[in-house]
Amino acid sequence: MSTTYSPSEVRDFVLEAFSRLTRKSANRDTLEEVLLVRDGVYSGRSYRWGGWMANWMISVGVIAFYNQRGDLVRTIDLHEAVAAEAPVRRAA
């Protein structure tokens, strides 16, 4: 099973989570997105919206969400998200 999400799909996860966490409508027009590079290697993306922040660390497959005070308030494990989307096989 693939656990790879495109940046566009992750961006949609982030916008939906920001909207739910803040009870305001987050949109792409006001979302700031930055590529993260560590030791010369692409490692993820950082998102900011309305004082909130999210980091997608590709190596661990997790998006971490922080409120305006910098407190960790939610994580999304993309590996679990893939498992939840996988079709269920039933015995014949």
Q: Read off the pLDDT of residues 1-44 as tens digits, 9 standing for 90 and up.
A: 345 789 999 999 999 999 999 999 998 999 999 999 999 999 99
Output the pLDDT for position 70.
Answer: 97
The answer as to whether 1 is a domain residue is: no
Domain residues for the domain of 64 are 7-85
- The pTM of this model reads 0.81
The answer as to whether 75 is a domain residue is: yes
Query: Of the candidates 46, 51, 16, which has an alpha carbon nearest to the alpha carbon of residue 33?
Result: 46
The answer as to whether 90 is a domain residue is: no
**Residue 74: count of CB within 10 angstroms of its CB:** 14
Cβ 21 vs Cβ 65: under 8 Å: yes
Task: For residue 78, give both structure tokens.
Answer: 């993309």
The answer as to whether 36 is a domain residue is: yes
**Residue 49: count of CB within 10 angstroms of its CB:** 20
The answer as to whether 48 is a domain residue is: yes
The answer as to whether 32 is a domain residue is: yes
Residue pLDDT, tens place only, 56-86: 999 999 999 999 999 999 999 998 865 445 4
Output the pLDDT for position 80.
Answer: 82
Rounded CA-CA distance 19/89 in Å is 33
The answer as to whether 92 is a domain residue is: no
Domain count, the chain: 1
